[in-house]
Structure 1
Amino acid sequence: MKHPLLPDYDFDTYKGVTPEFMKSIGKTCILCDIDNTLVPYDEPLPTDDVLRWVESHRAAGIKIVLVSNNDKERVEKFNEKLNIPCMHKSGKPSKKTVKRALVLLDEKKENAIMLGDQLLTDVITARLSGITAVWVPTIKKVETAFFRFKSAIEKPFIKHYYKKKAKKNK
């Protein structure tokens, strides 16, 4: 059984999740976090790199839905230029989040990955739902007590993941 806090794959940034990678693992849709996965949490709009990344997937026939626990105003503002399905106050790590996202995309869970920077929300959401988990490091640390607490919990698991990955690659 897979560990609930360890991803299936990891990349330095979201850009590692290319259409070629998606094809290589047989997946056709991405449930994607926004804050600190695609842009820093205080960046209201997608960067040109994010716009190009979304367009490259769209051109390859890969569907993307933004899945955020942030509020409606933040998510809709971010999505204006992207014009892709999106969910605000999504309820991660609930399994219902994935079910609703897959309905929006008209996809099956076997075709999906969850891309995010948080083990305690994004990776657990994927694990609880039986979809592939792809983790990227947080772009910009959030300096609130809640996020420091979450980071302290996640740190040993991230260390364990990299140790396990290093052993596997020997």
Structure 2
Amino acid sequence: MLRSFKPTWMVESIYQITPEQLRKEKIKAVLTDLDNTLIAWNNPEATEETIQWIQLMKENNIEVVILSNNTEKRVGKVASILELEFIPSALKPLQRGFKKALNTYPYSKDEWLMVGDQIITDIKGANHAGIKSVLVKPVMDSDAWNTRLNRFVELHIMNYLIKKDSEMKWRDGLYERRNNE
């Protein structure tokens, strides 16, 4: 049962995912969580690093779509700055948002990648949808009140998964081990 929370990869940051890595996996589109994945949960603005990463994806013809449980107002503000499509109120891990993405864009499940900082919402939802996933570390150590309970539960799930699977390690990219490992 807990295997449904297992990400395909664990990468320190979304910014370490490169177009070359995505091409190697035949990924043409990235669904990305917003809060604590692309930007801090309590910041309505995109950072320069975020803008550069999005631009790199666009230059390499990789579609990026924000898939967030947050409101249309919150997600729309950031999506407008980044000039990205978005799906708000996705209700992850339920399939509503994932199905909308799969039905809206011309990519097969194998061509999508979900990137997020929560295994309970982002990773479980992606696994259920049959989409490869990347778990990233949260941009900030703090969370909104409604995420704190998830983090507590996630800690126990992650500890179990890491104990059962020696390949569950943080990497500097889809394939690179961290320098200290």
CA distance in 2, matches of 1:125, 1:110: 15
TM-score, normalised by the number of residues in structure 1: 0.90
CA distance in 1, matches of 2:63, 2:166: 29
The 3 A distance-change label for structure 1 pair 95 and 59 is same
1:158-169 maps to which residues of 2 (within 5 A)?
158-163=158-163, 164-165=165-166
1:14-163 maps to which residues of 2 (within 5 A)?
14-140=14-140, 141-142=142-143, 144=145, 146-163=146-163
Q: 1:84 Cα deviation (Å)?
A: 1.4
Indicate the larger mover: 35-44 or 155-164.
155-164
Indicate the larger mover: 63-72 or 96-105.
96-105
The runs of 5 or more residues in structure 1 that have no matched partner are none
Pair 1:10 & 2:10 matched: yes
TM-score, normalised by the number of residues in structure 2: 0.85
What is the one-letter code of the residue matched to 1:69? N
RMSD: 2.2
**CA deviation profile, 1:46-81 (whole Å, cap 9, x unmatched):** 111111101111111111100011111111111112
The runs of 5 or more residues in structure 2 that have no matched partner are 170-176
**CA deviation profile, 1:105-145 (whole Å, cap 9, x unmatched):** 3211110011000011000111110010110012222162x
Corresponding pairs, count:
169
CA distance in 2, matches of 1:44, 1:167: 32
CA distance in 2, matches of 1:81, 1:71: 16
CA contact (8 A) 1:8 1:134 kept: yes
The 3 A distance-change label for structure 1 pair 130 and 57 is same
Percent identity reads 26
CA distance in 1, matches of 2:17, 2:68: 18
Indicate the larger mover: 53-62 or 160-169.
160-169
CA distance in 2, matches of 1:167, 1:77: 35
CA contact (8 A) 2:41 2:144 kept: no
CA contact (8 A) 2:54 2:82 kept: yes
The 3 A distance-change label for structure 1 pair 91 and 56 is same
CA distance in 2, matches of 1:14, 1:159: 22
CA distance in 1, matches of 2:6, 2:37: 17
